[in-house]
Amino acid sequence: MKIGTLCFRTDQGLSILAKSFFDHGIVTHPIAVRHGRRPENVGWYPGCFEITNLRDARQISVVKEFIREMDAMLFFETPFIWELFPFCREVGVKTFLEIMYECMPEVLPAQPDFFLCPSLLDQQCFPDRSMFLPLPVDVPWKLRKAASAFVHNAGWGGLLNRNGTGQLLDAMRLVKSPIKLILRSQKP
């Protein structure tokens, strides 16, 4: 089965998520979308197509020809081009959108065939044509009975503060217990 996607190749959230799906063999055929503002890991997807401008009709034609060869397309939070959903439906390619409710438009410009929800909250927000699907991230779990150190991954800061770094820092003023907060960021 050929499962395609459009994805960045940068050291940031959605890129790393797409790479995990590729590394686990779920996505088999990626198209790299040039980021333009972040350094790229060009070795992530050897031999893949690269799109540099998603507003260029010729490059969109390349994407559409690529899609015609797929059995399904898996998009991570955004299809980049919302018109791809009806195009995929027209050519018989199933579409899946892995959502993050906090960054989705209230009214989607187009609908995928199915929503993949990484949290139960996502599934509550998108109850129709969806399923809860934990992300394939390799993090070992162990039971802890008390916590004194916390890690917050701020990344690049998050679109529209969706990572909640500002709220976390505001909330820290209310903490009375001695704790350690480790704030990880890719920018100063």
Question: DSSP string covering 41-92, please?
Answer: -TTSSTT-EEES-TT-HHHHHHHHHHHHT-SEEEEESB-SSTTHHHHHHHHT
Stretch 25-53: mean pLDDT:
87
Percent of the chain with pLDDT over 70: 93
Which pLDDT score is estimated for 161?
Answer: 67
Cβ distance 100 to 77 under 8 Å? yes
Q: What is the pTM of this model?
A: 0.74
